[in-house]
Structure formats: structure tokens, C-alpha cells
Amino acid sequence: MPQTSQSSAETSLPSAAVLKAFQNAKTVLLSGHENPDGDCIGAQAALARVLEAMGKTVHILNPDPPEAVFDYLSCEVAYGTFQGGDLPDHDLCVLTDISELGRCGALSGPLGAHPSTKLVVDHHVHHGEEWWDLAYVDRTASATGLLVYRLAKALGVELDTVAANGVFTSLVTDTGWFKYSNTDAETLRIAGEMIGLGVKSDRLYASIFQRNLSALPVELGELLRGLEYFGGGKIALLAADPDHGPFESNTDVLHDILRSVEVVEVVLFLRQTSDGRIKLSARSKNDWNVNALARRFGGGGHVKASGATLQGPMDRARSELLEAALEQYASELSGGAVAR
């Protein structure tokens, strides 16, 4: 997910303790959040290759499998999906792109109970207790994959093409293919270096963004009939009917269209998932904080991209979200909203 970041003139480097934990580990388990995104699994691909190059045994185990659009990574890297039972033996557990164990779904309990050293590699805003043993967290980094790049440099390991594809995937998915404000000089410099290592950016773009089903344009049109604007058009709210499956994970297309409307500042998209929960994905265009809004519903993420799970039914979720959004953005809306 994208985030606001400052200049990368001052980069935060991994501590000696973090590097030592990697050097001393024999078997490493990499885990991520539910519905792992491109940054999460890209960072895992790169970190797995780096650690294997150092002679470590590496397991990747996530609560859910990667999306099919990332099959150019999953054909090279073994992404395990937790099915219950015992965790693989390991002495170091690394969480990528996440710092809250509770977001690891069914893996949360087993990971928490396992005596391994826990190391967090992440760029999200963390709230609550710092429960881990070690962390390499830089909230100004555009992607967790960028932190893995810095780790590889610090560990003296060259990235191979698979690792480069992983880092590049992290960078492009978390910056909206270099469109968001977190696209800083370091991000572009590293992206260029990854292309030098063999990344075919046009192939990756086609794989990630140009594999929609032929029904998508029509379904998107139907979905958008439910679009509502509030706050003088600055808040776009879409509460989808439950039968809009294609958008359960691929919400970027929708967010891009709605953010393309000039006056829109915030896009709030509610959809019912196959298991009956109501999921919010919230994006902002400029400076409105959607993380603060998502946190009202127990969610989180970044200032410009956050999510939450709301209580159903949809009508209730919609009205509670709208009320919270109008309250959250009261000061922005009173600052000269133009009705449209």
C-alpha cells in the first residue's frame, strides 16, 4: 500500500543486531499478512533469495496464497499457505510488510506461540505494544521490498533476477507504478538498478495490470451505478452489491477511475466478501488521512491507503462509514468545499 513519505536523503539502515540475527540464523520462516499484496510477497521473494545465497534454509508461509497476477514470482519461489498444523522448524521468523501479529490470520496464534526470534521488516505505522524481538522499520520507505534491498546491501549479498523481480514488484505495487507521493529518488534509483539486473518492466506491468477478465469493463460499469458523492463531491462512496466478485481483490482499477475525478479527495469502497464480511478500502488523492478514518473501525494502513473490516449488513456499514467520514473530514470540508 502506498504511503506519504519524506525525502529519502536520510535513509534508515538496519541495525547491527538485525544483521546479526540474519547472519546467525540457520532456518528462517518468512510470513506476511492476510491476502498478501505485491509488496509483501515481493519482499519475501527477494529476502528468501538473499538468505538462501547466505546458506540459510528458508520457508515462506502466509495465511493466504499470492494472487495469480504474481505468478512470475510464485513459479520461482515456493509460497506456502498455512493449512493448520505445526509450523516448519525455524529459529528466526521474519514478518514482511506487517507489524501486527493479529493481521496474520490463522497464523497469528501458532507464530505467537513459537519460541523463534521474531523480526519485523515493515514500513507501516505501528500502533500498540512493540511485541517483537527485533525490527527493521522505516515508515518513510516506499515499500518493504526497498528495505529488503537495503538489507541485502548491508549483508553484502548481490540480488539475482528473481530477487530483483521481487524488489521491483514491491516498489511498483506500493507506489501505484511510481504515481504516488511515496515515489522518492531512492525508489526510482533502485527500480533502475533492478532493470539492470534483468527485470522486464513491461512484462511485469502486463502481468499485474493487464490480465483482467473480459467481463470486467461491463461489471465495473454496473458497479459504478451505485456511486455516491458527498461533501461537495470530495468524498466518493461506493457500497457494492455482494455479487461483484471481481473486485474483491482488484480494487485498484476502481480507485484509479474515481480518483481521476478532479474534485474527489477520498474514495471509500465497501464490498461484501465471500464470507459475509464488509471490507472497506479507502484511498486519498492528496493529504486527507484515510488511516485515521480506517482506525475508527479497527483497521489501518497508510495515510493515503487504508482498509478496515466493518460490521454488516451493508446498509449499516455504509451509513456508519459515511457518518464517520463526514466527522473525520469536517475541517477539510468546511475549508471551502465547492458543491458540484
- Pick out residues in 13-32 that bind Mn ion (CB under 5 A): none
Burial status of residue 185 (CB atoms within 10 A of its CB: 0-12, 13-18, 19 or more): exposed
**# residues near Mn ion by CB under 5 A:** 4
- Please report whether residue 122 would count as binding Mn ion according to CB under 5 A: no
Cα-to-chain-centroid distance, residue 288:
19
- Please report whether residue 138 would count as binding Mn ion according to CB under 5 A: no
- Please report whether residue 174 would count as binding Mn ion according to CB under 5 A: yes
Q: Given the complex with Mn ion, which of 42 and 231 has the nearer CB atom?
A: 42
Instruction: Supply the minimum distance, in Å, between the C-beta of residue 127 and Mn ion.
Output: 16
Query: Residue 236's closest CA among 266, 263, 279?
Result: 266
- Please report whether residue 39 would count as binding Mn ion according to CB under 5 A: yes
Rounded Cα distance between 12 and 135, Å, is 12
Binding span for Mn ion by CB under 5 A among 81-89, 170-178, 202-210, 221-229: 170-178
Q: Given the complex with Mn ion, which of 272 and 291 has the nearer CB atom?
A: 291
Q: Given the complex with Mn ion, which of 37 and 265 has the nearer CB atom?
A: 37
What secondary structure does DSSP assign to 179-209, as a single string?
TSTT--HHHHHHHHHHHHTT--HHHHHHHHH
Instruction: Supply the minimum distance, in Å, between the C-beta of residue 44 and Mn ion.
Output: 12
Rounded Cα distance between 123 and 96, Å, is 9
Q: Given the complex with Mn ion, which of 39 and 138 has the nearer CB atom?
A: 39
- Exactly one of 69, 73, 77, 97 binds Mn ion (CB under 5 A); that residue is 97
Binding span for Mn ion by CB under 5 A among 22-30, 93-101, 214-222, 289-297: 93-101
Residues facing 278 on adjacent strands:
272, 310
Q: Given the complex with Mn ion, which of 39 and 186 has the nearer CB atom?
A: 39
Instruction: Supply the minimum distance, in Å, between the C-beta of residue 144 and Mn ion.
Output: 5
Q: Given the complex with Mn ion, which of 39 and 184 has the nearer CB atom?
A: 39
Instruction: Supply the minimum distance, in Å, between the C-beta of residue 1 and Mn ion.
Output: 5
Instruction: Give the nearest residue (CB) to Mn ion.
Output: 39
Instruction: Supply the minimum distance, in Å, between the C-beta of residue 336 and Mn ion.
Output: 33
Cα-to-chain-centroid distance, residue 188:
19
Distances (CA, A) of 286 to 143, 264, 266, 333: 19, 10, 8, 14
Instruction: Supply the minimum distance, in Å, between the C-beta of residue 105 and Mn ion.
Output: 17
Residue 2 backbone dihedrals phi, psi, to 5 degrees: -75, 165
With beta carbons less than 8 A apart as the criterion, state whether 83 and 105 touch.
no
Rounded Cα distance between 131 and 139, Å, is 18
Contacts with Mn ion by CB under 5 A lie at 39, 97, 144, 174
